[in-house]
Amino acid sequence: MEKRALGTSGLEVSALGLGCMGMSFGLGPAADKQEMIQLIQKAVERGVTFFDTAEVYGPFTNEELVGEALAPFRGQVTIATKFGFDIDLATGQNRGGLDSRPEHIKAAVEASLKRLRTDYIDLYYQHRVDPNVPIEDVAGVVKDLIQAGKVKHFGLSEAGVDVIRRAHAVQPVAALQSEYSLWWREPEQEIIPTLEELGIGFVPFSPLGKGFLTGEIDEHTEFDKSDFRNTVPRFAPEARKANQALVNLLGRIAQEKNATPAQVALAWLLAQKPWIAPIPGTTKLHRLEENLAAASLELSADTLQELEQAAAQITVQGDRYAPAQQKMINR
């Protein structure tokens, strides 16, 4: 698979990574661990070198899964994980708030290293901006961890422009991870121009709109009671019905290209900037293969313009998070 440089940091990854969260957490019951280990290893065989997890996914179980799956390939892959939630590191209890105090980060990195079965983390993101800790202090701690060899690169997730600039001035930020797709385009306003200016890579999560852009979800789809999409306004049945117009658009282009809606959505993202590396997640091998095939789907300038013009006519309905989560983003 084609490789991409995440900005000017020197970090090079496969054009498409693999978001591992849903294997353990967030989208219904955890999948079978051995099956997920096999899936991650099959991704490596197919050229994926970029794997995304976080301590809060579980908590802890997803990092353990990723660590076990990638141990035989450690030198060939880039592992990204995240810190910043208020988690009891002894019990795994998620207390629901944020904690990016320097002493907590130092303890969190040691715990993540053990679970990931490694002595360094390739890309260490602050998962959400903590309003109680100056970002300069956070960047300073990660700088120390980089100097100690425990972390290779510093990342931010869902941070606003001011925070990105302030962090980058203390320790260069290699990548920003935030939601970006055809149905969430807010990053185009300020975030992407800032990343381009500063030489920071962009890692879009939910590049398939938490599954919606695959065309496999409609207003009648019912999610497991443990699936967080039940709390997302954008997934209310009436919002799904309204947002179907975007899926129909992708379906139309996909038919012309002998592709799937998911492949068109991912190819569109890859065409936006050469330093964007999306991380679609899945628990199914046939979906992994479908997603990875998007890396070789070329969308012509005419097709991109057609998508652009048609998408501009569609107003997406519903917030992308419930109010409590919404408060934690873009600080």
Q: Closest Cα to residue 11, out of 144, 143, 152? A: 152
What is the rounded distance in angstroms from the CA atom of residue 81 to the CA atom of residue 56? 10
Out of 57, 125, 180, 321, pick the active-site residue.
Answer: 57
- Sorted by where each begins, the domain ranges of the chain are 3-209+273-297
pLDDT over 80 at 331, yes or no: no
The answer to whether 57 is a known catalytic residue is: yes
Residues 6+ apart with CB under 8 A from 25: 57, 58, 61, 62
Average pLDDT value for the chain: 97
- List for the chain the helix, strand, coil content (%; round to 5): 45, 20, 35
CA nearest 135: which of 105, 94, 113?
105
* pTM of the predicted protein model: 0.98
| 217-231 pLDDT tens trace | 999 999 999 999 999
Q: Are 49 and 75 in contact (CB under 8 A)?
A: no
Q: Which two tokens stand for residue 68?
A: 């076990």
3-209+273-297 CATH fold: TIM Barrel (3.20.20)
Q: What is the pLDDT of residue 140?
A: 98
Specify the amino acid at residue 60.
Answer: F
The residue length of the chain stands at 331
pLDDT band, residue 329 (cuts 50/70/90): confident
Residue 330 has pLDDT above 90, yes or no: no
For residue 324, what pLDDT band results from cuts at 50, 70 and 90?
confident
pLDDT in tens, 184-202: 999 999 999 999 999 999 9
Q: Which of 329, 327, 320, 328 is nearest to 231 (CA)?
A: 320
Percentage of the chain beyond pLDDT 70 is 99
What integer is the mean pLDDT of 93-109? 97
Q: Which two tokens stand for residue 290?
A: 């479908």
Q: Stretch 242-269: mean pLDDT, rounded?
A: 98
Coil, helix or strand at residue 73: helix
